[in-house]
Every structure is written in C-alpha cells, then in structure tokens.
Amino acid sequence: MRIGIDCRLFSQNFTGIGRYTHELVDHFIKLNDRDNRRHELVLFFNKPEFQEYEPRNPSIKKVLVNSRHYSFAEQFRFLFHLNRAKCDIVHFPHFNIPIFYRRPYIATIHDLILHFFPGRKMAKFYQRIAYNLIIKNAVKHAKKIIAVSENTKNDLIKHLHVSPEKIQTIYNGISNIFTMSQNQSAKPPFLLYTGVWRSHKNLPRLLKAFALIRKKENIDLKLVITGKEDKNYPEVKNTVKELGLSDEVIFTGLVSEKELCRLYNAATITVCPSLYEGFGFPPLESMKCGTPVAASRTSSLPEVCGRDNAVFFDPYDTDDMSRKIASLYKDAALQADLIEKGFAHAAKFTWEKSSRQTYELLTHILKAQ
C-alpha cells in the first residue's frame, strides 16, 4: 500500500506542526521497516526541505510540490501531485487540504485558534472565508480526524459539528532533548515564558501580573520571554515600557531546543498564561526538565498538565495570576511536589507512542478499504 504524508511544514526545529511532522515521518519509517516495508511512503515537500531530506531506503519516495498554505498552488499544483501519486491514503498533519482532493485521507487538527483568536494576520474577510472553507472541507471528507487533546475534540464537535465517532484523540509527544540537568547550580530566580507573541498567548496580562508580583508581593525576580518579536503585536514591548519593567524583563529572541532546555532547567517557574491552547508543549517540556508550572485554567491546559501537577489561575484575572504564581514561588514544598509529579506525568507523552497510534490508525483504515 502507498501512504502519503504532507511534509510541507516538515522541520527539525521546535515549530509545532513542523516538529510533529518530522517526528511522525521518522517513526513511520521505523514502524514500516518492522512491517518488512510493506508500505511505500510518499513524502510531499516544499523547498528547501525537499533538497535537504535524504530518503533512508527504497520504500521512501519524495515529491516536490512547492505549494504554500492558503495559496492557489495548494489548490491546484499540490492537488495535481496528490492525484498523480495515487496514494491509498494520505495523512495531512494540518487541515490545509486541496478542496477537490477526494482520495482517502486523515487529517490532524491541533486546535481551533483561528476560530476564537484570528489575530491580525487573519483579519481580512477573504482570509476568514478561505479558512472556514478549507477547514470545513477537510473535516467533512476525512476518513478520520486526529485531535491532539480531548479539548480539541470537543471543539470540533461543538463548533464544526463533527461526529464524535469520526475523531480519535492522539496526544503529541515531547522531544527527548528536554531532560533534567544534573548540574544544578544557584542562579538568580526568574519566571519563564516561551512561545509566540500572538493575542491568545496573553502576554500583556502576564506582564501586568509580573508587575504585581514585584510590587504587591515584594518579590525580586526577572521574567524571561523567548520567541521572535512580532510586529503585529507591539503591545508586548509597549506594556513593558508602560509598566517600567525594561530592566526586569529579558527578551531572548528565538532560541534553539538546547538553549530552551537550559532555560527550563534554570527557571524557577514556567508560566503558561494562554487564553487558548489545543495542546500546549511548554508545560510538559518544563516538567521534563524538573521545573514547576503555573498555567491557565482554560482549554486543554488542565487536561494536558494534569490537574494535580501544576498551579492553575484565571488568565483573564491578573490579580489571580499574580497571587497563584507568588504563592508557588514562596512554597518550596509545593515546588518539590509539583516537580516530582510533573516529571512522572510528562514521561507519558512520547513521540514513539503518538506515532505508533497514528500509524495503526492509518493501517486499520487501509485494511478496511
């Protein structure tokens, strides 16, 4: 049988869907090898990943499609290559699927962020129309939909009216690079936020809560924020200036996974203030590195973190956020308890398990056809 995988977002970097696709491809190849290479794997790439990726064995075929998401090339050039490949089934790790593609496929839906927080990059009416058309078409014609959390599954049922029987929840894995350092030396205390700067990430409220922690709770610590500055959201740096926190907030810019691992290990607390997450990698990555987590009591975060493994706050209430973070900071026994529980909990989320469940779903559908 021929299994296709949309690798247009393929990346070895920790870029969400890019990492997800990379891990699936890597583990699918191992699983197929164990099956005596009974399947041919067809990988659809854009440049430059097409040139950079070297197939490991003859059962792997790569195809150059050069079709960006939400483009005419996606609807026509990518469609042409998909039809020509004649795959028995295709796995799309995102909902961006050519609307006229009618061969069997499954799609992974990571979240419905664009439903609730379209942001300034998806503000134009025609962009909203395109998004709604593409995602509704994707879930309508898919053989099965993978949701990365029960929260995302429930969102699909409620907002896109997908039948529960059509959805299978398969949790993401966490990269093995995130481990607890054996060389823990004394470091100045700081809170850590890692992620993009979009509106649903709730950074302005985190900054206001941080200011309250320093002033009301009289706690002297820093806030480290990773991620590339987004010109669409100037309020992040504007809020720092307005609150007089320029010396207390450290912007690192983009960091590598190794650098991020070091930051998790050095941080006192990792804070996840999001208004919405389909899954949420940072809290689990932090737990694997032995750092306690304070997170929003919203969307998938309590589910993914486990309700006893983190401190939760109302992300819309800066007073509540500041109080919960400060109480965790002051309570060494609670920190130790969350570190122990979180480390054991995060170990359950592996790419081996996630990939095997996805591979088994694909092969089950193939057998049923």
pLDDT tens per residue across span 71-106: 999 999 999 999 999 999 999 999 999 999 999 999
* pTM (2 d.p.): 0.94
Q: Residue 120: pLDDT band by 50, 70, 90 thresholds? A: confident
The pLDDT of 339-344, averaged and rounded, is 97
Task: Specify whether the CB–CB gap between 261 and 178 falls below 8 A.
Answer: yes
Q: How confident is the model at residue 358 (pLDDT cuts 50, 70, 90)?
A: very high
Q: How far apart are the first and last CA of the chain?
A: 11
Question: Can you give the pLDDT at residue 185?
Answer: 66
Place of tokens 């920190």: 335
Could you tell me which of 272, 289, 260 has the C-alpha nearest to residue 328? 272
pLDDT (0 to 100) of residue 14? 58
What was the pLDDT predicted at 125? 81
Q: Is residue 107 within 8 Å of residue 147, measured between CB atoms?
A: no
Assign residue 287 a region (left: φ > 0; alpha: ψ between -120 and 50; beta: otherwise).
Answer: alpha
Beta-bridge partner residues of 190: 222
pLDDT digits (tens, 9 = 90+) for 171-185: 999 999 999 988 766
Superfamily of domain 190-346: Glycogen Phosphorylase B; (3.40.50.2000)
* Extended strands (E) in 12-70: 40-45, 60-64
368: Cβ–Cβ under 8 A, 6 or more apart, which residues?
A: none
Residue spans in the chain of domains classed CATH 3.40.50.2000: 2-173+350-368, 190-346
Compute the distance between CA of residue 30 and CA of residue 25 in angstroms, rounded to an integer.
9
Is the pLDDT score of 15 beyond 80? no
b/e per residue, 149-168, with b = 16+ CB within 10 A? Answer: bebbbbbbeeebebeeebbe
| Beta-bridge mates of residue 44 | 6, 63
Strands (E), the chain: 2-6, 40-45, 60-64, 89-92, 105-109, 144-147, 167-169, 190-193, 222-226, 249-253, 269-272, 293-296, 311-313
Task: Tell me which fold the domain 2-173+350-368 belongs to.
Answer: Rossmann fold (3.40.50)
CB atoms within 10 A of CB 15: 14
